A and B are shown apart, each in its own frame.
Chain A
Amino acid sequence: MSSSTELTEKKVFLLKSLDGVIFEVEESVAVQLEVIRELIEGDCARPFISLYNVTSEILALVIEYCKHHAETCSGGTSATIADEDLKTFDNEFMNVDENILLELCSAADYLDIKSLFELTCRTLASLIKDRTIIEVRKMFNVENDFSVVEEKAVRKEFAWAFK
């Protein structure tokens, strides 16, 4: 007969960030990262999985997110309470610096975590909705590559949208 420790033992995986920090995560967390699902299912995740595009700061946040979602969904609470709990968590989780938010969005895209990608995209969209063009350029770190004449022409096409 197998011992009780064996029965309750959870499978863990090691994830290595871009800057070399190794995180230990349970299977319920790891499977949310679609990008490594195949490695996990094919048992090719030893000794650790390198995630080249994610820094330890961001990976720690991603793991926190996945952990909370895994625990809430398996917690045995009713679906409505779990839903409410996740909503509250998501709202608080999005209360971070804009640059972190952009990096989280990028990481969610790379790691293929659909719910986190949706959440970050939605949050970024509502953040920029009422911003000026100059503020948006600054936030996304893009240069204005229109000439003065060209920008004027683009603006003129839908001048009413600027009122």
Chain B
Amino acid sequence: MLPPDMISEILSRLPVKTLLRFRCVERTWCSIIDSQSFVQLHLHQSMTTNSYHNLILGSREGLYSVDLDSIDKAQLIEPPVSSKGFDCISNSCNGLILVMSDPLVPPVLWNPLLRKYKILPDAAIEYLAPLLCLSKVFYGLGYDSRNNDYKVVRAFEFCNQTSRAWVCSGTEIYSLKLNSWNVVPVLPNMI
């Protein structure tokens, strides 16, 4: 039998779908594949060897995933929460993406290869007054390597519901580890 470190090295060169099957081989393989260190190793392998990369494209019909190793076919993929047929997606970060459907609904953090998702909690800032409405919301997803945490930045602005004039802007940062939003100093200007 090979030592677990070697098994990890071999497994880290396999695509995600195969790994999900191989969790059934035995307990040791399952705990290797589920471990945080293996996730990092697999990500590192994929990045350094440019393998198993997917391109996700949005169109009016929905989201498509293209396997960059066989670029001739696109597969329609189902976002975890679909609103009116069209979902907006953020940048990708280590295989994760954010799916936004409605500005007032919290976005969903999605791992399309694992088909797992997490609905983010409601944002911290409440709507300031009934006469104000959200006019713009922007999301960005990033990895905080210092804290080994994924973060979502949400920048938005409110305008007056009747005049549509800009009133204020704001920024919040979500931490996956803390599973909460934090308000950061307000942007003084329009976005």
Contacts from A to B (Cβ < 8 Å): 102, 105-106, 109, 117, 121-122, 124-126, 128-130, 133, 136-137, 140-146, 151, 154-155, 157-158, 160-162
Contact = CB atoms under 8 A, between A and B. Distances in A.
B23 interface: yes
B38 interface: no
A145 B62 CA distance: 42
Nearest to A151: B24
Overall SS of chain A's interface:
helix
B25 interface: yes
8 shortest A-B CB distances, which residue pairs?
Answer: A125-B13, A161-B20, A158-B20, A142-B26, A124-B10, A121-B10, A161-B17, A121-B9
13 contacts: A105-B6, A109-B5, A122-B13, A128-B14, A129-B18, A133-B22, A136-B22, A140-B1, A142-B25, A144-B25, A155-B24, A158-B20, A161-B21
A121 B13 contact: yes
B2 interface: yes
Contacts of B24: 133, 146, 151, 154-155
Given A129-B15, A146-B27, A162 B21 contact: yes
Contacts, number: 70
A145 B27 contact: yes
Given A129-B18, A154-B30, A161-B21, 16 more contacts: A105-B6, A105-B10, A106-B2, A124-B10, A125-B10, A129-B15, A133-B24, A137-B25, A140-B7, A142-B1, A143-B26, A145-B27, A146-B27, A154-B24, A158-B20, A158-B115
Contacts of B99: none
Nearest to A136: B25
A128 to B, nearest CB: 7
Nearest to A161: B20
A109 to B, nearest CB: 6
B29 A142 contact: yes
A133 B6 contact: no
Nearest to A143: B26
Contacts of B28: 142
A129 B23 CA distance: 13
B11 interface: yes
B26 A109 contact: no
A126 B115 CA distance: 24
A140 B1 CA distance: 6
B23 A102 contact: no
A146 to B, nearest CB: 7
B1 to A, nearest CB: 6
Nearest to A126: B13
Given A125-B11, A125-B13, A141-B1, A154 B23 contact: yes
A143 B25 CA distance: 8
A116 B159 CA distance: 62
B14 A125 contact: yes
A141 B27 CA distance: 14
A146 B26 CA distance: 6
B26 A145 contact: yes
A136 B22 CA distance: 8
Contacts of A105: 2, 6, 10
Contacts of B22: 133, 136
